[in-house]
Amino acid sequence: MPVMIELVRTNDAVIISFVEALMRDAGIACLVADQNMSVMDGSLGILPRRILVDADQVEAARKILADAGIANEISEQ
């Protein structure tokens, strides 16, 4: 099973959609984790969602985000 690395952690739905589109266009599989946590926070969007990518693709994914001008969204992990 591949190791997944956190690429982005945010509760901004627009950023999540944008990152998903960027990864899809680049052919990089990603997983949005904690999407169903909205049940816990009453759908307020308080709890952040995490976008995970395979460890062997994380550097390419980070470069794509930097090239798209959203490097500030990259998790520090």
Maximum distance among all Cα pairs of the chain, rounded to whole angstroms = 35
Cα separation, 3 vs 18, whole angstroms: 23
70 within a domain of the structure (yes/no): yes
pLDDT digits (tens, 9 = 90+) for 13-71: 899 999 999 999 999 999 999 876 655 555 566 788 999 999 999 999 999 999 999 99
pLDDT of residue 2: 78
55 within a domain of the structure (yes/no): yes
pLDDT digits (tens, 9 = 90+) for 53-62: 999 999 999 9
26 within a domain of the structure (yes/no): no
Structural domain tally of the chain?
1
73 within a domain of the structure (yes/no): yes
9 within a domain of the structure (yes/no): no
74 within a domain of the structure (yes/no): yes
37 within a domain of the structure (yes/no): no
Cα separation, 49 vs 25, whole angstroms: 21
State pTM to two decimals: 0.85
Structural domain range at position 66:
50-77
